[in-house]
Structure 1
Amino acid sequence: MNVNTHLNKVAIVGMAVKLPGANDLEGYWDLLKFGKEAVSKFSAEQLQRSGISEQLIAAPYYKPYRGILDDLESFDTPPFESTAKNFEVLGIQGKVMSHLTHRALSTMRNNSNRSIKNTAVYIGTNNQPASHFLGSAYYEAIDTQKAIERYYSKVIAPYISYQFGFQGSSIDLYTACSSSLTAVIQSCRELNSYQCDMAIAGACLIDLPQEVGYIYEENGLFSSDGHCHSFDASASGTLYSNGAGLVVLKRLEDAIADNDLIHAVIIGAAMNNDGNSSKEGFMAPGIHGQYTCLQSAWKNAGIEPSDLDYIAAHGASTKLGDATEIYALKKAFKDITGTKRFPLSSVISNLGHTGIVSGMASIIKTVLMLKNKAIVPSINFETPNPDFMLEDSPLYIATQFQDFPQIKKHYLAGVSSYGAGGSNTHLVLRSYDEN
């Protein structure tokens, strides 16, 4: 592995989040480090205010859980005066992403980055409201204004470019749960082909009203108990949460030359699709597609799986999704010899499933781990699913906060995100030491 060349490497020079239980990076690290869960349980009164009928609330199959965002009202004011024009027509998703962009740029060491006009913007968005999954009672809370806001939420990236004067590509995209990693990979491709000099990559999912639950069906998509148990024997399904996050990217050689604060380095990436090979259906995940994506990303990074120190797994907490991911990872690590073991964990157990934002939550989580040289726990995990037979592999679920077991110059981590429809993505991150 060659860690000296800067060619085709991309530096993460800015970050910002708005996640359940975490309003900023410091709050996010606190949540991760101490293994906190940020899923809320709603009272009947809260649900009624959101338009859920008493009959549905009383039903045993209605689960009043979701990960929500605090203080959304604070995003109604433009982040600075020059962004005020047309700000009022933005839905809440656009407003939050505008604020996060301003926050990420404002906290960068090099203030001149804000004047880089040739900046690309790739944002994962989804105009499909959670009400699609929640039943007709949810529509009692929907009105024309919210429909308009949902329409404008589809043009988040162009609004960011308009507000900040960016003149590079400006694209909203959707690849289901892998959208935010897709945004990062597309941004890296533009940077490495010199089509832009800086990139904003992120995703946002904020469905209103927030205080709503979901309908549970046995052997369905959603959790039976209002919690996500990634890779655990008790995992019965997932639950959706709101969230937003983004990263600011530059070519590594430019970031070094510009004296940027470099949080971590993207040294390789890949994305592919399952096609129709050997899986149960269009929405189902595929072992071969995920395995191939992992192999391609590691080859692109110039590493072997044995070089990795950690895997940030997708870990959707669904029986089929978790099983597919573990089997693909076991296949990818099957030739590893020696005593080294490889920890993996999923942030979905902390936050709930933030959908198109889940990959961004994993990236930023992993960057914070690399900066702090520590592994955070995968919570709500007690008993490994026996079907996975993890004991037959060098992989294990990290359940405690711990330092990286080896002292190294650079730590390497893989980040996976998989979308319904077979859109697979994987990044390789490397720690960065200015010295």
Structure 2
Amino acid sequence: MTPKNGEKLVGDNDIAVVGMACRLPGADTPEEFWNLLRNGENSVSRQEDGTWRAALENHAEFDAEFFGMSPAQAAATDPQQRLVLELGWEALEHAGIVPARLSGTRTAVYVGVASDDYAALAHGAGATGGYSAAGLHRAMTANRLSYHLGLRGPSMAVDTAQSSSLVAVHLACEGLRRGESDLAVVAGVNLVLSDHSTTTMELMGALSPDGRCHTFDARANGYVRGEGGVCVVLKPLRRALADGDRVHCVVKGGAVNNDGGGPSLTTPHQDAQEAVLREAYARAGVRPGDVRYVELHGTGTRAGDPVEAAALGAVLGTARTPGAPLAVGSAKTNVGHLEGAAGIVGLLKAALAVREGELPPSLNYATPNPDIPLDELNLAVQTELRPWPAEETGKAEAEGKAEAGAGGIRVPRRAGVSSFGMGGTNAHLVLEQAPAPHPAEPATRALPVLPLVVTGRTAEGLRDQAARLSARVEHGPELDLLDVAWTQAAARTVFGHRAVVLAGDREELLTRLERSAVHGVAGETGHRVLVFPGQGTQWVGMGAGLLETSPVFAARLRECA
């Protein structure tokens, strides 16, 4: 194939992020998480026991019936498993995929999970039963989602300590590249359910006594534990573009290695971190100097931060023009360290930054750590919200300026994401801005009003869905009602409790969602059709207006004729 109009060909190894979901302290959706990051908000607070934590509220709440589980079975199941079920469903719908349509497909599930507080509590209390073997087994965190949706691709829980979830994303991408699966659902989850696990980390000296993660700052004294989960849906970029998916960002490549030595089992090793960075960029086919931002592992520990900074400076900082430093930051300063889920939290932050073209601030930074010579390393902590850095700042770009200039090739935004496990398993992924979509044919509004469909398993669920749709439309001025109507009708699971709202504009939709939706309960079996017998209330010219305004109606009428 030959590129047209100066466009680059889509790489065979590129993996698209087509769906996202999250449940984080202060943010139940990716949009809420992005607002939290942009506003520089901190979700960490002191708990009743005196410890500091970014705590997830209401993690015990779970709609067992929705997922085909009895109350007893749900009670015996680790809340981390239950959270992955919810996030997997939400991420697929965010991708415009009806979960039930994946049954029997080669869809993979990978989940990064490193804690089992619930199992420890259950065993300690002697509260085991028939459902406990599956409910408490860490492997089921992935397997249960595969079972519920009938997925036939690889399904595995990944535990490499704090790097678990980013390693899970890397494994999913490699599986898609090898053709082991056609689609992948990847999650990371972490819930702090036992005081013992906090005490263990405290005794290790990993936790910050002042309840703040001071990444790369002179006050660095440990991290704060965080709770929650993130899920992404991945597919090969070529297929995503062919399917017309919305691509949030692209995973160009990545690498995983291990320290394989060093001062101690849990002490990070600079040479190994440099090696994983070099390999990641070589595999991605991206020059290190082309990267504008790196989402750090960034735990704010005295041992970890200087090693991470030195490795970044050696590989990425020196590849840039002196005085044009690489921006770095850490979401751990906002939502704490989600340990086994931390890497995918960083991935979500970096993906949103690449998509939106902005760099959100990293918090709790005032004075550089004296062991981190930022100027010498050509690094800079991102302390304020700002637009994505201009394209002409890097040394590598200056060398390739002729290639990227006169040819009119768009230089995409690029970022890196790091995550390191305390046992030395290091991961780094390289992200890139999604390619510009091909111009679509202008959408035709077929009717003066549009039908917007909402469904739920119960009447309460129906009301909740209507409220969520209302909030999304109200806070999404960029949304097109035609797109919203299509998504609600064609890319959502249809349940028995249903409502339809007829609206011609945004204000009318918001009003009618609140006051005048037509609702009811559908029958249990069969499909419904409309029959026009030819007698009754028809009139001359009936349907002529629809024939002129709706291509779909016109095509079906011609088909029938």
Output the TM-score relative to the length of structure 1.
Answer: 0.86
- Specify whether residues 7 and 213 from structure 1 end up closer, same or farther in structure 2 by C-alpha distance, changes over 3 A only: closer
* 1:58 paired residue number: none
In 1, the alpha carbon distance for the partners of 2:290 and 2:65 equals 45
Give yes or no for contact 2:112–2:340 (8 Å, CA) kept in 1: yes
- 1:68 deviates by 1.0
How far off is 1:4 after superposition? Answer: 2.5
Among 8, 19, 32, the residue aligned to 2:13 = 8
Aligned to 1:172, the other structure's residue is in SS state: strand
Note the alpha carbon deviations across 1:144-163, whole angstroms, 9 max, x for none.
Answer: 33894872344111111000
Q: What residue in structure 1 maps to residue 511 of structure 2?
A: none
What CA deviation, in whole Å up to 9, does each residue of 1:129-158 have, x standing for no partner?
Answer: 3999xxxxxx79952338948723441111
Q: Label 1:39 to 1:146 Cα distance change in 2 as closer, same or farther (>3 A).
A: farther
Deviations 1:267-293 (A, max 9, x none): 0100111111xx210111110111000
What amino acid maps onto 1:434 in structure 2? Answer: P
RMSD: 2.9
Match of 1:288 in 2: 271
Instruction: Within 5 Å, give how 1:137-216 maps onto structure 2.
Output: 143-145=125-127, 148=132, 151-208=136-193, 214=199
One-letter identity of the residue aligned with 1:354: L
Q: Which residue of 1 aligns with 2:108?
A: 120
Asked if the contact 1:78–1:99 (Cα under 8 Å) also holds between the matched residues in 2, the reply is no
The equivalent residue for 2:467 is none
Aligned-partner Cα distance in 1 for 2:204–2:163: 23
Q: Deviations over 1:5-54 (max 9, x none)?
A: 321110001111111221211221111111111112123xxx3xxxxxxx
Aligned to 1:51: none
* Alignment correspondent of 2:387: 403
Distance in 2 (CA, whole Å) between partners of 1:260 and 1:315 is 33
Q: Please, which moves more after superposition, 219-228 or 319-328?
A: 219-228
Following superposition, the deviation at residue 393 of structure 1 comes to 2.6
Larger radius of gyration: 2
- Per the TM alignment, residue 420 of structure 1 is displaced from its structure 2 partner at its CA by 1.0
Is 2:117–2:192's contact at 8 Å kept on the other side of the alignment? yes
Q: Secondary structure at the match of 1:231?
A: coil
CA contact (8 A) 2:114 2:159 kept: yes
Give the match for residue 99 of structure 1: 86
Q: Which residue of 2 aligns with 1:429?
A: 431
Q: Percent identity?
A: 32
Unaligned runs of 5+ in 1: 48-62, 133-138
Letter of the structure 2 residue corresponding to residue 12 of structure 1: V
Cα drift, residue 218 of structure 1: 9.3
Is 1:237 the counterpart of 2:225? The answer is no
Query: Secondary structure at the residue paired with 2:62?
Result: helix
* Pairs aligned (count): 408
Range 24-33 or range 402-411, more displaced: 402-411
Contact 1:110–1:260, Cα closer than 8 Å, also in 2 = no
**SS at structure 2 position matched to 1:314:** coil
- The one-letter code matched in structure 2 to 1:42 is Q
For residue 44 of structure 2, what is the aligned residue in structure 1?
A: 39
1:324, distance to aligned residue in structure 2 (A): 0.9
1:159-206 alpha-carbon deviations (Å, 9 max, x no partner): 110001100111111001110111111111110111110011111111
Provide the residue aligned with 1:60 in structure 2.
none
Instruction: Describe how 1:257-296 pairs up with structure 2 within 5 A.
Output: 257-276=242-261, 279-296=262-279
Q: Give the secondary-structure state (helix, strand or coil) at the position aligned to 1:380.
A: coil
Asked if residue 330 in structure 1 is aligned to residue 333 in structure 2, the reply is no
Distance 1:151 1:73, change over 3 A: closer
Aligned counterparts of 2:209 and 2:53: Cα–Cα separation in 1: 13
Aligned to 1:220: 205
Indicate conservation of the 8 Å contact 2:81/2:141, yes or no.
yes
Shift of residue 222, structure 1, vs aligned partner: 1.5
